[in-house]
């Protein structure tokens, strides 16, 4: 058995089929020098402007500081104020995820940006030193996309470790609590 001959395209043919330069469909992390002031956050939708920016600060403390940036306050003791994950979250509320980064409870915290008519909550979190945006619907925890193709739950695990078979990855599967801010 022999392999079919490999045809080599001419330079003219290669130029004809080459794609024109186009912007990447996904934003790449911005290379922001240390000490640069990030975009002003006055209300929850402003949080989208942070997506892709790098931040090496502690993720929990950073997300909590964003809550106060637009005039809301988080409870002093987060463990006392935890609500059921299926309870609707409002913009500025906090989402607590278990075992998203490590094997620990409450190892990822996110801030709610918005909630759409389908009941899907959009949120911002700091993962791997980069602000990322995700989506969660705790009433459909194992659903990635709905019938129209819109995102329902985002894959949350962003670490480099390889978890055991059967581990959960979707935001709806990992969401443990909602903390309402005032």
Strand partners, 111: 94, 124
* 44, part of any domain: yes
Asked whether residue 30 is domain-assigned, the answer is no
Tokens 């009433």 appear where?
Answer: 139
**Residue 112 DSSP SS3:** strand
From first to last of its 182 residues, the chain has per-residue pLDDT tens of: 677 776 665 655 666 656 566 655 555 555 555 566 778 888 888 999 999 888 888 999 999 999 988 788 888 777 767 788 889 999 999 999 998 888 888 889 999 999 999 999 999 999 988 999 999 999 999 999 999 999 999 998 777 766 667 778 899 999 999 999 98
Domain that holds residue 94: 39-179
Identify whether the C-beta of residue 181 lies closer than 8 Å to the C-beta of residue 94.
yes
Does 27 reside within a domain? no
The CA-atom distances, in angstroms, between 125 and each of 65, 131, 136 are 12, 6, 12
- Residue 59 domain flag: yes
Residue 17 falls inside a structural domain: no
Do 175 and 95 form a contact (C-beta atoms < 8 A)?
yes
2 assigned to some structural domain: no
How is the chain split among helix, strand and coil, in percent rounded to 5? 20, 20, 60
Phi and psi for 66 in degrees, rounded to 5? -70, -30
SS3 state of residue 130: strand
Closest by CA position to 134, among listed 160, 108, 102, 99? 108
The tokens for 180 are 């309402």
In this structure, is residue 47 part of a structural domain? yes
The position carrying tokens 């964003």 is 66
- Position 65 in a domain: yes
Structural domain count, the chain? 1
Q: Provide the pLDDT for residue 147.
A: 95
Q: Give the 3-state DSSP-derived string for 64-98, with helices as H, strands as E and coil as C.
A: HHHHHHCCCCCCCCHHHHEECCCCCCCCCCEEEEC
| pTM (two decimals) | 0.78
Say what the pLDDT of residue 74 is.
86
């Amino acid at each position: 058995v022999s392999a079919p001959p490999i045809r080599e395209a001419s330079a003219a043919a290669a130029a004809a089929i080459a794609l024109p330069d186009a912007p990447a469909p996904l934003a790449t992390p911005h290379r922001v020098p240390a000490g640069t002031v990030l975009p002003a956050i006055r209300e929850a939708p402003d949080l989208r402007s942070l997506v892709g920016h790098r931040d090496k600060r502690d993720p929990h403390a950073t997300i909590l500081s964003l809550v106060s940036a637009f005039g809301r306050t988080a409870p002093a003791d987060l463990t006392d104020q935890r609500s059921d994950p299926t309870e609707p979250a409002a913009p500025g509320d906090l989402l607590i995820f278990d075992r998203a980064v490590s094997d620990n409870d409450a190892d990822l915290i996110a801030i709610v940006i918005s909630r759409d008519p389908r009941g899907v909550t959009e949120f911002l979190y700091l993962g791997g030193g980069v602000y990322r945006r995700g989506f969660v619907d705790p009433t459909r925890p194992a659903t990635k996309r709905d019938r129209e193709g819109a995102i329902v739950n985002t894959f949350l695990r962003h670490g480099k470790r390889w978890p055991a078979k059967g581990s959960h990855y979707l935001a709806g599967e990992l969401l443990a609590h909602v903390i309402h801010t005032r």
